[in-house]
Amino acid sequence: MKNLTREEANNILDAAAEMNNGPWYKHSQNVAKATETLAKNLNLDPNRAYVYGLLHDVGRREGCTYVRHIIDGYNHMKNLGYEDIR
């Protein structure tokens, strides 16, 4: 899997927010911080947790699509070359 850096993840999130800005953007940043802290305390990879937390709602770039944003985000990440994203 192509690993995401924090900078790449932030760029992806920023581009998504340009398409559809809303409270989900700040929420995603807060989730990233929380998952990083949890990962540190659980001896997991804090960088990976941060990146995945940051991008967990990236499908919202497509607008208010309710649960569809999950599939939209998955497809977007695959289109960017992150084939193993889950």
Residue 84 lies in a domain: no
In a domain, 12, yes or no: yes
Domain that holds residue 45: 6-79
Q: Is 51:69 a contact under the CB 8 Å cutoff?
A: no
Structural domain count of the chain: 1
Q: What is the pLDDT of residues 25-77, one digit of tens each?
A: 999 999 999 999 999 999 999 999 999 999 999 999 888 888 888 888 888 88
Answer whether residue 1 shows pLDDT above 70: no
- Asked whether the whole model's pTM tops 0.75, one would answer yes
Instruction: Give buried/exposed letters for 5-20 (b at 16+ CB in 10 A, else e).
Output: eeeebbebbeebbeeb
Question: Is residue 86 one of the residues assigned to a domain?
Answer: no
CB 59 within 8 A of CB 74: yes
